Amino acid sequence: MNGEAPKPAAFRGSGPFLRTAPPLWLPLRHFALASAALLVFAGGVAWRGGDLVGFDFNARFALGLVHVLTLGWVAQTILGAWCQMLPTHGETPLAFPRIATAGWWLFALGAAAYVGALWGGIERYWVPVSAAAAGLALELFALAATHARARKRDETWLHFAAALGWLAALATAGVLLAYDRERGLLFGDPEGALIAHVHMALIGFVATAIYGAGRRLIPWVALSQVRGRWAGRASFALTQLGLAGLALDALFFGRRLMPLWALLIAAGFVLYALQLGPLFGGGASFEPSLALTLLSFAGGVLWAALGLGLAFGRFADAAPARAAYVWAALVGCVTPMILAQVHKIAPFLVWLHVYSPRDWTPPVKVPKIDDLTSRGLAWAEFFALAVAAPLGTAGLWLERGGLVRAAGFCLSAAAAGYAWNLGLALRHVVRPDGRWTLPTVHAGE
């Protein structure tokens, strides 16, 4: 009426979302420790990759290095992501954050002491394993309590619930294996118990958690869930049934039906991969997270092929094949998928807490989430990892220490790129970038 230009509409900030989000430092300390563990693992492979050739349960250096990767890189990343995703996806605050924090410290220190005991030749390494398991139990208690209170219970919720259960089971089995190694009282078939433990970790905990998160973080899988859920549900059911059968068979029944369980698990993974169908219809922007996701599925094909070959007796069930199998799983499939998803989660968390904490009114300058990290570094991680995964698999299979060390150098480059990118995001927590202004609080707030 008076000729004045209308005031721009206010935009809703992230305040309501932050009410269910955990303290920022809780997931970020998991990610920081995980990044350090990946650097240690990659550096160890580059330095002494020949010691991984012919790996078996008694190779102390190799066993410790594998647990740096599994307990440090993989478990810490997934637990950190869960600290964020379980509350926000379930629309409920994180339960008992102090207990989760105490658990993180105990788990981290116990895992480090366990690796140190292996490398130092200490026989009673089940003691630090028990400490790590106790810390993990505390974190699991807080996370499971949060998950139980969730208001939203969908396919992602179901995947996370199963992964939490498998994590508790494999932690228990790990402690018992460490205690029983020198005694042989609990497990009549130690090899079978180890096979069960490894697959509860790789498939029950890691793959189930990652693929559950992928239902939200991989756009094409999410789209497939909207169009029809049969593939996702069948994938989950086949994978869980196959894993349960494999674990029980390996622990108690002499591994008599391993080909059947391997087929069920492989069929579950194929059905999950088929949900990427919309991607190949075109229209997707090819960026580092997508490239890493596709690299993960390529590594998964190699992992599944090796697993089926071992289960059906096409390959000799010996140390070289087992080592190649574990490398294809952890470095070829799991690591690129973790990188693809954490490259979204970590910058988003920083952006959410630093640059969008309140309601704001234009004009205001805020960064895009992609502005917090380097796209070029992310591509460097992809290319380095694309070389490290097949090179390490081939080196371990052929028992060529030089190839394994070369894979370690490539993996070190990928780990360094990721650590740098994570640091680029975390620096905004300490000192927000002056090119952007923080949102303005409305009057009266």
The three-class DSSP label of residue 360 is strand
Q: How far apart are CA 10 and CA 8, in angstroms?
A: 6
Q: Which two tokens stand for residue 252?
A: 């108690």
116-141 pLDDT per residue, tens: 999 998 888 888 988 999 999 999 99
**Residue 205: strand pairing partners:** none
Residue 120 near residue 64, CB atoms below 8 Å: no
pLDDT band at 313 (very low <50, low <70, confident <90, very high): very high
367-410 pLDDT per residue, tens: 788 889 999 999 999 999 999 999 999 999 999 999 999 999 99
With a pLDDT cut of 70, the percent of the chain lying above it is 85
* Long-range pairs, 170-177, Cβ under 8 A, ≥24: 170/197, 170/200, 170/201, 170/204, 170/205, 171/133, 171/136, 171/137, 171/140, 172/133, 173/197, 173/200, 174/129, 174/133, 175/126, 175/129, 175/130, 175/133
Residue 13 near residue 359, CB atoms below 8 Å: yes
Mean pLDDT of the chain: 86
Q: How far apart are CA 209 and CA 204, in angstroms?
A: 8
pLDDT of residue 344: 86
138-188 pLDDT per residue, tens: 999 999 999 999 988 888 899 999 999 999 999 888 888 877 765 666 777
**Which one is predicted more confidently, 211 or 277?**
211
| Residue 324 phi, psi dihedral angles, 5° rounding | -65, -40
Q: How far apart are CA 426 and CA 439, in angstroms?
A: 19
Nearest to 389 by CA among 328, 336, 345: 328
Q: Where are the domains of the chain?
A: 15-430
Residue 300 near residue 32, CB atoms below 8 Å: no
CATH code for 15-430? 1.20.210.10
